[in-house]
Structure 1
Amino acid sequence: MAVSMSRKRSKPSRKLEAREPACSCFTTLCNFLSRISAAIFLLFLIYTWSSFSTIITGKVIHVCVSSRKLNNLYCLSAGTHPTFEIPISIKNSSSITRNFTEHANFSTIPYLISSRGAADINKDEEVANAIKVVEEQLQLHRSWRSDRKDGACDGQGLYVYDLPSKFNKDLVGQCRDMVPWADFCRYFSNEALGEPIPKLGKRWYQTHQYSLELIFHSRILKHPCRVHNADDAKLFYVPFYGGLDVLRWHFKNVSGDVKDSLALELLKWLEKQRPWTKNSGKDHVFVLGKISWDFRRTSESAWGTRLLELDKMQNPVKLLIERQPWHVNDIGIPHPTYFHPHSDDDIIAWQLKIIRSNRKNLISFAGAARPDAQDNIRSILIEQCTSAGNGKCQFLNCSSGMCDEPESIIELFMESVFCLQPPGDSPTRKSLFDSLVSGCIPVLFDPFTAYYQYPWHLPEEHVKYSVFIDQKEVKQMNVNVVERLTSVSATETENMKRYIVYELLPGLMYGDANAELEKFQDAFAITVNNLFERVGRLE
């Protein structure tokens, strides 16, 4: 059965930790005080909790008040807890590799795989089959990996639609009013990299995690394979800022029709374009800078838009910071981090710095407890961390405002061997990529946090770069995480650290808008080259 949850949260601080999830409250119980300064902004959340198996219906959720799904300031993410439902087609399909498009339109049945993993499900056969299909999808995605270098276009042109400004630029122009207590405009400076962070050095910026759409657009306009004649193109990029579109409605009491209006207008516009109709959008790509859940509104929740549920949106590839695992054309790509190299030398200098850094902490956790979330393991992790003694584990309490600045997060991760990365209201965390870019080995508790998300940027052999501890074991108090990590040998630790720094790190960062990388491929280059490989398979 599908599950929705409502969570109590206190007033958002002006700056909050990178990448933590959102909460929600009922319209009938909430009074939203809009457009007042952050200093006096106060919203009292009245908490109503339903049992784990109850579907919340009837009342529309209009307000989501901060935990940490947004980087540094506020939170805006899934209004109800994201659930991964097993599609009917998965139960009856033996393989997806025959034709990846035949599984694009998944209908769902009310069997839930929660973001806490499959262990809570009694229908073991369905779950095992579903996980098998997800893994097959990831193998398919990995088959599209390309060895091509930037500039080796080989007759494959990239066409960028010149959309009417209401689909992108005009949304950026609303940066002061997206949410009532924050000004996004400073994050959209420097071609969406944000303001510099001098304390961390060159190439470090206050990059907002929801700036991916703008960053990608800026880079792709300068791609060497870009063509201006659609007849010369094999790949078509649609620069629709769908994340900003959905973001602006999170805190406004508007109908679903209003939320969906711009997406529907976009599809009407695309249907008039010959390249779109020629292949029904199969050679088109969208970049959406929020999680898939935000674009899959259902009848059980008023959160987000229906963009990715629309029939005409099933064929294109959708690149997201968190994919919906049952949709083969959803592909996860890294969250933007704060580091944006311009040259190979920038990457090499950073690699040398973090491989030599003094990691005085064995373990660290930057986050906040979730006392109202009975199935979340954060409180257990915090207790194990703070009681470890001998300085083994450092806890940075983000609920007290200690994670206000990126410097505090990055410096903590640079001083730590292992970084705990439990899920929040959705499985993924920006903090995962912050830890990897800092050379800190992530400790994961849910395979949906990374292993089922980023097939182009993270290897299938996750033991090369991470430690996995089943959150069910943590929840049942069968494992002490600090003791478990203490038992990891120095050789294993060193091998993982070197793999992260020298193999993974370059491909997890987005270079600046004018990046000149020759020895390395960054996250953007890997993504575009793999898209070309994929579109080549369609011919």
Structure 2
Amino acid sequence: MVSKRKSRTSKTIEDSCIHLCSVFFRSLYYTLPALFLFFFLLYLCLSFTTGISYNNFHICIFSRKFNDPYCNTAGSKPGYQIISEENVTFAGETAGDRILDSVPVQEHKTKNKVDLNSLIELKAEEEYSKYIKPTSEDEGYALRAVIKYLYLQRSSLSPGDENLNNPRSCEGKGVYVYDLPSKFNRDLLVGCNDILPGVNLCSYFKNEGFGEAITNLGKGWFATHMYSLEPILHSRVLKHPCRVYNETQAKLFYVPYYGGYDVLRWHYRNVSEDVKDRLGIEVLKWLESKESWRRNAGKDHVFVLGKITWDFRRDKDPWGSRFLELQEMQNPTKLLIERQPWQVNDIAIPHPTYFHPRTDDDITRWQIKIMSKLRRNLVSFAGGARPDNPNNIRSTLIEQCISSNQCRFLNCTNESCTNPKNVLDLFQDSEFCLQPPGDSATRRSVFDSLISGCIPVIFTPYTAYYQYAWHLPEDHRKYSVYISEQDVKEKRVNVVEILKAKTLKEKKDMKSYIVQQLLPGLVYGDSNAKFEKFRDAFDITFDCLLKKINRSVV
């Protein structure tokens, strides 16, 4: 008979097993959360990176959700961006879009300046031969310099100080207007019937420089002269919401010297170079007596000159003055309708057009009108030939245009273009507007075509792409078509045939971008303009000016 009782040995072993299992599961119960926490912390550590620069401690999160690492900096607001190979992108847009995404906000610090310079060097190396193939090493260096200065100017559009980005705040944005003796501005307009021999300019000085109203075009349209930038901006600055009357409260100093009209009156007169230079030298002597000028050697001062830069850079040719070549003029910012591409303080801003809206509604009504306009011409060209200049491509373009039934030519040599309505009607009736260089690289006609919803066809980057860094986007394909001037000159291409190949979607996208995105920022509203929704060319210019000066003057 077998006993059913367990032996003492068996029971002891069983009790030991139960005890061991109990201990194991209890330890597992307590260690699993710890293990889970350990692996979670390990994951976070692998997802973060840290960096130390300028005594700041940066924690940056890298994620596929973000194109750039988002960094939080001890002792400052989030906004510092680490420079990485993936982050080196220059998605240049016009005002309001992201420019130089990878440029650190705190640019006044030395390390960040080095980062910015490195990025610009990289872009210059990538893009210097984008439009023009250099034929020599020196030309290559020159083209690299153009790109460097262009991107340096675009950096004024990148995110910056919170107050500077708030258009309704005047903190740190005081604008001081010098009360210059009238001989430097208003007196230059008094002899308006004799500034140019045989030409009466008096009608152009009406309405604060806008000229006479063009009633048959509607509200906000004026017969504005192409050199009227100085009185137009002067009247706006006088009513700037951040204008201050105490020099110590100013961040920006505006010098209302009408240098464009000063030099214009001597263009066709036989006078000495001393006479041409006299008034410009006098205004600088007047400024040198001011502590506000001496404090920062003019770095926080701005001049508006309503002509092209070359009219103020007399060299061997006796044309113009040497105002911009004077040593005292190297630090101030100069606003011009055409800049010298190798001068970082030369800033090109839009040529004045005929449209000067006062309200958001004025702009919106015009946008609706030209978006719905039926365009009967594929291509048009308003201009004249340059028979005395064999390097100019205008004659070739005219020949190609008149030989096509899809291109319309308006001959400006017979004064047809002096009537603004003739030009605007042509541009509003065309999908593409040819914009070859004229007496200089830039053309007012580029801006007349843009505000008419006509896609400009550009033949040299110096006409627009290397000029208007604050008002036109880096990607020219959004608003224009580029055709090499050299290809046209050597008759390797037919411009009309190239434009015929553009798809309906391409044309629609460009036109929409021009009208909806660019147009408001290319026009100068009148001195009483009240914009809430839009920023006009003046607003964009002075927003960027304040950011530029905020960085250059510590």
Q: Same fold (TM over 0.5)?
A: yes
CA change 1:530–1:505 in 2 (3 A) is: same
The correspondence for 1:130, drawn from 114, 118, 142, is 142
Q: Provide the rounded CA distance (Å) in 1 between the counterparts of 2:256 and 2:115.
A: 27
2:235 paired residue number:
218
Q: Provide the rounded CA distance (Å) in 1 between the counterparts of 2:403 and 2:227.
A: 35
Q: Provide the rounded CA distance (Å) in 1 between the counterparts of 2:357 and 2:297.
A: 37
CA contact (8 A) 1:333 1:457 kept: yes
**Counterpart check, 1:438 vs 2:455:** no
Please, what TM-score do these two structures have when normalized by structure 1? 0.77
The Cα of 1:156 is off from its aligned counterpart by 2.3
The correspondence for 2:156, drawn from 129, 144, 151, is 144
The Cα of 1:524 is off from its aligned counterpart by 0.2
Q: Which amino acid aligns with 2:359?
A: S
The Cα of 1:402 is off from its aligned counterpart by 2.0
2:50 paired residue number:
none
2:338 paired residue number:
322
The correspondence for 2:313, drawn from 292, 296, 306, is 296
CA change 1:324–1:97 in 2 (3 A) is: farther
SS of 1:504's partner is helix
Please, what TM-score do these two structures have when normalized by structure 2? 0.75
1:477 paired residue number:
491
Q: Provide the rounded CA distance (Å) in 2 between the counterparts of 1:118 and 1:253.
A: 38
1:460 paired residue number:
474
**1:174-323 correspondence to structure 2 within 5 Å:** 174-298=191-315, 300-323=316-339
Structure number with higher helix proportion: 2
- Between 1 and 2, higher relative CO (CA 8 Å, sep ≥ 6) is seen in 1
Q: Provide the rounded CA distance (Å) in 2 between the counterparts of 1:501 and 1:258.
A: 45
1:47 paired residue number:
none
1:366 paired residue number:
382
The correspondence for 1:382, drawn from 388, 398, 404, is 398
2:505 paired residue number:
491
Q: Which amino acid aligns with 1:253?
A: N
SS of 1:419's partner is strand
Q: Provide the rounded CA distance (Å) in 1 between the counterparts of 2:115 and 2:325.
A: 20
Q: Deviations over 1:118-159 (max 9, x none)?
A: 55x642x22222212211111111110267344321232110
Q: Provide the rounded CA distance (Å) in 2 between the counterparts of 1:202 and 1:514.
A: 14
Q: Which amino acid aligns with 1:260?
A: D
CA change 1:99–1:223 in 2 (3 A) is: farther
The Cα of 1:479 is off from its aligned counterpart by 0.4
Q: Provide the rounded CA distance (Å) in 2 between the counterparts of 1:100 and 1:265.
A: 38
Q: Provide the rounded CA distance (Å) in 2 between the counterparts of 1:154 and 1:165.
A: 31
2:415 paired residue number:
401
The Cα of 1:321 is off from its aligned counterpart by 0.1
Q: Provide the rounded CA distance (Å) in 2 between the counterparts of 1:249 and 1:97.
A: 43
Greater Rg over alpha carbons, structure? 2
CA contact (8 A) 1:295 1:308 kept: yes
Q: Deviations over 1:432-477 (max 9, x none)?
A: 0000000000000000000000000000000000000001001111
Q: Provide the rounded CA distance (Å) in 2 between the counterparts of 1:496 and 1:253.
A: 47
Q: Which moved more, 1:130-139 or 1:261-270?
A: 130-139
CA contact (8 A) 1:418 1:440 kept: yes
Q: Provide the rounded CA distance (Å) in 2 between the counterparts of 1:355 and 1:218.
A: 31
Q: Provide the rounded CA distance (Å) in 1 between the counterparts of 2:501 and 2:264.
A: 43
Q: Provide the rounded CA distance (Å) in 2 between the counterparts of 1:144 and 1:273.
A: 27
**Counterpart check, 1:507 vs 2:524:** no
CA change 1:295–1:333 in 2 (3 A) is: same
CA contact (8 A) 1:97 1:140 kept: no
The Cα of 1:98 is off from its aligned counterpart by 5.3
SS of 1:286's partner is strand
The Cα of 1:185 is off from its aligned counterpart by 1.3
Q: Provide the rounded CA distance (Å) in 1 between the counterparts of 2:544 and 2:420.
A: 31
Task: Tell me how large the CA RMSD over aligned residues is.
Answer: 1.7
Q: Provide the rounded CA distance (Å) in 1 between the counterparts of 2:436 and 2:172.
A: 44
1:62 paired residue number:
none
Q: Provide the rounded CA distance (Å) in 1 between the counterparts of 2:338 and 2:457.
A: 18
CA change 1:510–1:194 in 2 (3 A) is: same
Q: Provide the rounded CA distance (Å) in 2 between the counterparts of 1:435 and 1:319.
A: 22
**Counterpart check, 1:336 vs 2:348:** no
Q: Provide the rounded CA distance (Å) in 2 between the counterparts of 1:146 and 1:226.
A: 24
Q: Which amino acid aligns with 1:231?
A: T
Query: Percent same amino acid among aligned pairs?
Result: 59
